[in-house]
Amino acid sequence: MDRVMDGVNEAYDLAVLGGGINGTGIAADAAGRGLRVILLEQDDLGAATSSASSKLVHGGLRYLETREFALVRKALKESQLLLERAPHLIAPIAIHLPYQRHLRPWLVIRAGLFLYNHLAARPSYPRARAIRFDSTCPLRSGLRRGFSFSDGQVDDSRLVIANAMRARELGAEVKVRHRCEKLRARAAGWELAVRDLVNTTSRQFQARVIVNAAGPWVSSLFETNTGAPARRQVRLVKGSHLLVPRAYPGDQAYMLQNEDGRIVFVIPYRNDFTMIGTTEAEFSGDPATVAISQEEIGYLLEVYNSYFRRELTAADVVNTWSGVRPLIDDQETTATRTSRDYQLLFEQTSQPLLSVYGGKLTTYRVLAEQAVDRLGEHFPGLPASRTAQDNLPGGDFSSREQLTEKLQQEYPWLAPQLVQRFVTSYGSLTAELLAGCCGPDHLGIAFGHGLSQREVDYLVNREWARTAEDILWRRSRLGLYFSPAQEQGLRDYLSRSVGAT
């Protein structure tokens, strides 16, 4: 039975519901403008859609076909800004687009890439160009012409964590595994009934304004908690990816056109793997239960095998993930043609509640800026956003190469692979993680594959991690390498240290 905590309600200017990329981005932006913010997430940060992406910040080349020029311009601009603000989490990646005459005309693709080059300035990304594939290319022999363009490869779940850390730095309260169970409009704003899912306690908070950033749950959360109908419904679209051992040499990704008009990416992942995705399928039901189907696995392998000389089978698949994207229901006949843009709408309530409908990983920062701007009418004198100027935690360094060299000099006893992982996970915060360490013994228990007690404690104390899944799949992705015995060792340690597994 739940215990109810005593004491007066805690009061905030803004309560953000949802700890994905949009929710954490909004919390960081609002806290940076001086608002007292609380963020509530019923699971782990980034546990749903935000950690199940294609791991790209990109302009969205294919959205030019649906004439979403404003969205592409916005996304291109954001891909440059995000690379500058979080260089540890994002890096340019070359994407090759093999040409198939019967799918899209050469001139149409060239025109699209011309726009990609010119809609927004992206000095950190090489410009798009036509290319030829030689005999060393892993593609089938008939594919000799194509194009190359660049976008950003991102650690999506760590981007969420970085925004949550930034929000906390600026004074926000970030509460994971806290579920909002009731919203009540009061004279001075909102009263929120919240359940702590770890300690099974219930408490109440007050907030002048609420932002509903619950992703695929945006409509259902509002309706369940208020009893009123939401202004919009979202179109739930499942996107699935699969992972295979490194399928070809080289660091380039591929963008494959399929006969059905859809696009599949093939992307090098974590040095040892290749990611293939995504699918697009209408979804109904609870987004928490989403999983890849055998049909989707077959579809992705079929598209891959139609382009590459070395064919893959289902036996090659080592991991999969699926997410539910909450797209604006614009009545398009197919999910492929449904807009990836977003809408920010005040619900029809007696107190201000702003819901976030739609959106994509790449545009989260500008979405957050616009969302907080919309709140300005309720907070007179609200200053302008600074998120386009300020680095995310760990991002204040000049280049990955220089930071790597610096860390190797300061910690010569660290394995080069571990230094590289620290650079691309924590950036300049690696110094905080390793503070006081003078040798391997100072790292404590070795759980496997470079994961140490020192790092686990850091993730628990600084990054809201609680379970082995939090650490292995959303903080480090080391779950791809851990054996069952190694995972159990980590679970045993977490059980002793924080009472969780």
Q: What does the pLDDT look like over 93-124, one tens digit per residue?
A: 999 999 999 999 999 999 999 999 999 999 99
Q: Is 80-153+235-326 the same fold as 3-49+158-233+340-378?
A: no
Q: What is the pLDDT of residues 420-451, one digit of tens each?
A: 999 999 999 999 999 999 999 999 999 999 99
Query: Is a pLDDT exceeding 80 seen at residue 9?
Result: no
Q: Are 21 and 161 in contact (CB under 8 A)?
A: no
Mean pLDDT, rounded, for 470-483 = 98
- Mapped onto helix, strand or coil, the DSSP state of residue 302 is helix
Q: Tens digits of per-residue pLDDT, 176-234?
A: 999 999 999 999 999 999 999 999 999 999 999 999 999 999 999 999 999 999 999 89
> Is residue 5 pLDDT above 70, yes or no?
no
Dist. CA 463–CA 466, nearest whole Å: 9
Average pLDDT for 255-279: 97
pLDDT score of 338? 80
The answer, yes or no, to whether residue 404 has pLDDT greater than 50, is yes
CB neighbourhood size of 421 (10 A): 21
Quote the tokens at residue 391.
């680095």
Specify the DSSP class assigned to residue 227: S
Among 28, 6, 9, which residue's Cα sits nearest to residue 19?
Answer: 28
Handedness of CA 397, 473, 45, 80 (dihedral sign): positive
pLDDT the model gives residue 4: 38
**Is this structure's pTM higher than 0.75?**
yes
Q: What is the mean pLDDT of the chain?
A: 96
The confidence band for 459, taking pLDDT boundaries of 50, 70 and 90, is very high
CA separation, residue 54 to residues 77, 152, 482 (Å): 19, 11, 22
- Encode pLDDT of 361-373 as tens digits: 999 999 999 999 9
Q: Is the peptide bond before 278 cis (omega within 30 degrees of 0)?
A: yes
For residue 1, pLDDT beyond 50: no
Q: Is the pLDDT of residue 8 over 60?
A: no
Sequence-distant (≥ 6) Cβ neighbours of residue 150 within 8 angstroms:
92, 93, 94, 95, 125, 126, 127, 128
- Indicate whether 482 pLDDT > 50: yes
Section 311-327 average pLDDT: 98
Token code pair at residue 137: 């290319």
In whole angstroms, give the CA distance from residue 391 to residue 122: 18
Q: 80-153+235-326, what's its fold?
A: D-Amino Acid Oxidase; Chain A, domain 2 (3.30.9)
Rounded-to-integer distance, Cα 231 and Cα 348, Å: 7
The dotted CATH code for 400-497 is: 1.10.8.870
Q: What is the mean pLDDT of residues 254-267?
A: 96
For a pLDDT cut of 90, what percent of the chain falls above it?
94
Report the distance separating Cα 261 and Cα 136, nearest Å: 28
**pLDDT recorded at residue 6:** 39
C-alpha distances in Å from residue 219, one per residue of 224, 225, 251:
9, 10, 40
Confidence of residue 3 (pLDDT cuts 50, 70, 90): very low
Residue 198, SS3? coil
What's residue 239's pLDDT?
Answer: 98
Q: Which residues of 317-340 are buried (b: 16+ CB within 10 A; e: fewer)?
A: beebbbbbbbbbbeeeeebeebbb
Amino acid symbol at 396: D
Rounded to whole angstroms, how far apart are CA atoms 339 and 320?
25
Residue 340 pLDDT: 83
H or E segment to which residue 132 belongs: strand 129-132
Q: What is the CATH number of domain 3-49+158-233+340-378?
A: 3.50.50.60
Count the helix, strand and coil residues of the chain and give each as a percent rounded to the nearest 5: 35, 25, 40
Residue closest to 157 by CA, chosen among 481, 490, 473, 494 = 473
Reply yes or no on whether the pLDDT at 59 is more than 90. yes
Residue 333 has pLDDT above 80, yes or no: no
- Residue 332: pLDDT band with limits 50, 70, 90: low
At 272, the pLDDT band (50, 70, 90 cuts) reads very high
Minimum mean pLDDT range among 318-332, 350-364, 430-444, 483-497: 318-332
Widest pairwise Cα distance in the chain? 72
251, exposed or middle or buried, with CB in 10 Å at 0-12, 13-18, 19+? exposed
Cβ atoms of 71 and 344 closer than 8 Å: no
User: How sure is the predictor about 352, in pLDDT bands with cuts at 50, 70 and 90?
Assistant: very high
Whether 447 and 485 have beta carbons less than 8 Å apart is answered as no
Given a cut of 60, is residue 128 above it in pLDDT? yes
Query: Which alpha helices (H) appear in 146-284, and where do they start and end?
Result: 156-169, 218-226
Distance CA 497, CA 499 (A): 6
pLDDT at 499: 83
Residue ranges per domain, the chain? 3-49+158-233+340-378, 80-153+235-326, 400-497
Residue 500 is predicted with a pLDDT of 78
Q: How does pLDDT run across 150-165, given as a tens digit for each residue?
A: 999 999 999 999 999 9
For residues 352-378, give the mean pLDDT: 97
